[in-house]
Amino acid sequence: MSWLFLGVSLWGAWFTYNALSPSPRGPRFSVVSFAAGWLTTELALHHVVWQVIATIGFGLAGAFEAWPGRLGLLITFASWAGLAVAQRRAHEAEGVLEGALCEGLGAGYRERILPELRSQLYAGIDWSRVVRPFPIRRTDVEIVKDIQFHRERGVDLLLDVYRNASRPRGCPVLFQIHGGGWMIGAKDEQALPLMNHMASAGWVCVTTNYRLSPHATFPEHLIDCKRALRWIHDRVADYGGDPDFVVVTGGSAGGHLAALLALSANDPEYQPGFETLDTRVRGCVPFYGVYDFANRNRTHAHDGLIEILEEKILKGSREEIPEEWDRASPITRVNADAPPFFTIHGEDDTLVPVAEAREFVRALGEKARAPSVYAELPGAQHAFEIFPSVRTLHTVNAVHRFLASLYSEHLRGGRADGGDPAVEGVADRDRGASAP
């Protein structure tokens, strides 16, 4: 029993060490490091709880009577100390995010948020959601699922709508694009904490599917997302949304597509059959996205992503189709008319290095006129905000403040007298307005 406990202690300690010091070495090892570190960093308290229970069980079984068991106990104590460090780093996200917002939007950005919107902001942590992260869905949020917005080569493209259960009208819209390496994933798997939070606050959230590789070849993924944006323009008002205010978000491959959608507005190449539609968005919030397919700045430690792009996504090498690689890279599309960005990345991301985000944000700062906010979260892995955790909830609260700031500027600019307008969506929600 002592040797078994020592082995279990070493196994747990490796998870903790990997969480604190992940490694991006090689395509396969970086995936393993991500999978182990992601759950450990976001569920650090849960890991401590189950390890305490297991340790008590081993102790009752006599595991500490021999030296291997006592050594294992020391290793376990060290592992718990490491998990405490991981938890502390998760809390650091609050200050990092607020500092980023103050730097990008100005120190007084909160005061410029309209009172009606400021009253909906939440700065604390709902510990009940951290302790029990599943199910993610909120009781005051209604989901309208599987709305068909297009059919392409026998494939039905579907989207879901999240809205407050009171069905308010005239609400701002958050458009979510899922990730998954352009090859896997679905509309109802990612950004659930963010969408449920924003829908509860009176936003209408739309999350879309798109054709996946290897069957799809880029830019078909982006074209499908633009088709979903066309549906938003045409139909979201039926569900309480305001098509005149749309912000796009997404993570990983979804972060890439969200950034590219925001930076390729009105490009007829990506709008077949609706070339004249105005596809500008009011802002973009990409999470841990891929911004440079060609790896121009050598931010990636290996060529794993390049190989996937060549074989599965673009289906041609950089030498064979250089124009396609450039057009597919958001960093090459940054321009003076780019909308406001809130770029979020974890400093310990082993799948998409944080240096990728730094280069993208640098390009935005050099070329774009609109504000650019960048938050680099200490201790965060790829896909850190998939489910509620301390870091996730701090991030969701910060994104809400960013969106409220953008929406306040939009509403204030829409008033000829420059006064603070009533927020139609909030007022209608309070009156119990209905929609289909």
What is the spatial distance between Cα 41 and Cα 38, in angstroms, rounded to a whole number? Answer: 6
Q: Is 166 a catalytic residue?
A: no
Q: Edge-to-edge strand order for the sheet containing 155-164?
A: 141-152, 155-164, 204-208, 171-177, 241-251, 283-287, 341-346, 372-377
Low-confidence ranges of the chain (pLDDT < 50): 415-435
Q: Is 151 helix (H, G, I), strand (E, B) or coil?
A: strand
Q: Is 382 a catalytic residue?
A: yes
pLDDT at 27: 76
Please report, rounded to a whole number, the percentage of residues in the chain having pLDDT higher than 90: 87
**Active-site option among 349, 389, 400, 408:** 349
Tell me the pLDDT tens digit for each residue of 216-274: 999 999 999 999 999 999 999 999 999 999 999 999 999 999 999 999 999 999 999 99
Find, among 237, 223, 236, 222, the residue nearest to 274 by Cα: 223
The answer to whether residues 112 and 409 touch, using CB atoms and an 8 Å cutoff, is yes
pLDDT at 429: 43
In 211-259, which ranges are E strands? 241-251
The CA-CA-CA angle for residues 238, 406, 377, to 5°, reads: 110
**Active-site option among 200, 252, 329, 372:** 252
Find, among 150, 260, 142, 251, the residue nearest to 205 by Cα: 142
The answer to whether residues 393 and 129 touch, using CB atoms and an 8 Å cutoff, is yes
Find, among 374, 387, 386, the residue nearest to 347 by Cα: 374
- CB within 8 Å of 210: residues ≥ 6 apart: 157, 177, 216, 220, 221, 224, 225, 228, 257
**How many residues does this entry show for the chain?**
436
Write down the domain spans for the chain: 2-90, 94-431
DSSP 171: E
Q: Is 157 helix (H, G, I), strand (E, B) or coil?
A: strand
What is the spatial distance between Cα 220 and Cα 257, in angstroms, rounded to a whole number? Answer: 11
pLDDT at 24: 79
Predicted TM-score (pTM) of this structure? 0.93
Q: Is the peptide bond before 135 cis (omega within 30 degrees of 0)?
A: yes
Q: Which two tokens stand for residue 83?
A: 């998990």
Phi, psi torsion values for 141, nearest 5 degrees:
-115, 130
Overall fold of domain 94-431: Rossmann fold (3.40.50)
**Active-site option among 345, 382, 394, 400:** 382
Phi, psi torsion values for 13, nearest 5 degrees:
-65, -35
What is the spatial distance between Cα 272 and Cα 217, in angstroms, rounded to a whole number? Answer: 15
Q: Which two tokens stand for residue 128?
A: 């009940």
pLDDT at 123: 79
Q: Which two tokens stand for residue 353?
A: 């290095």
Q: Is 156 a catalytic residue?
A: no
Tell me the pLDDT tens digit for each residue of 160-209: 999 999 999 999 999 999 999 999 999 999 999 999 999 999 999 999 99
The torsion of the CA quartet 406, 411, 412, 413, rounded to 10 degrees, works out to: 90
Q: Which two tokens stand for residue 261?
A: 């959608």
What is the spatial distance between Cα 334 and Cα 288, in angstroms, rounded to a whole number? Answer: 17
* Beta partners for residue 174, in sequence order: 205, 247
Buried b (16+ CB within 10 A) or exposed e, 45-69: bbbbeebeeebeebeeeebbeeebb
DSSP 168: -
pLDDT at 26: 77
